[in-house]
Amino acid sequence: MAGMYILAGLMHFVKPKMYMRIMPRYLPNHKFLVLLSGVAEIVLGVALLFSETKAFAIYGIIAMLVVFLLVHFYMLSGKKASAGIPKWILILRIPLQFFLMYWAWIYLS
């Protein structure tokens, strides 16, 4: 799980335009938010690796995934917002977010 979040966070710096395309219009300063979310994913991924910060990281990941639901629902709002991703994939991503939250939650024990 740690590797997945670290890699996902790094991708925000490698391909920031890809993430900026899917940002809801009502959110300000897209580039800053994309980079901030990348940093958050990297920090939380690294924090998963240490027993002292593991619980903090899990709660942070769950909170982050809840916030990311805004983007997933926004992407369902129209053709431009979907970034060319088929609607059925966008719909499947929503339960995937809840699975990722559950996956993080089971690491608390």
Give tens-digit pLDDT for 67-77.
999 999 999 99
93 Ramachandran zone, left/alpha/beta (phi>0; psi -120 to 50): alpha
Give the pLDDT score at 84: 87
Q: What is the DSSP letter of 82?
A: T
Q: Name the residue with tokens 């925000």.
A: 12
Check: CB of residue 90 under 8 Å from CB of residue 68.
Answer: no
Percent of the chain's residues with pLDDT above 70? 100
- Token pair, residue 61, equals 């990941």
Average pLDDT over residues 61-85: 91
Q: Name the residue with tokens 């499947």.
A: 92
Q: How far apart are CA 40 and CA 62, in angstroms?
A: 12
Burial of 58 (0-12, 13-18, 19+ CB in 10 A): buried
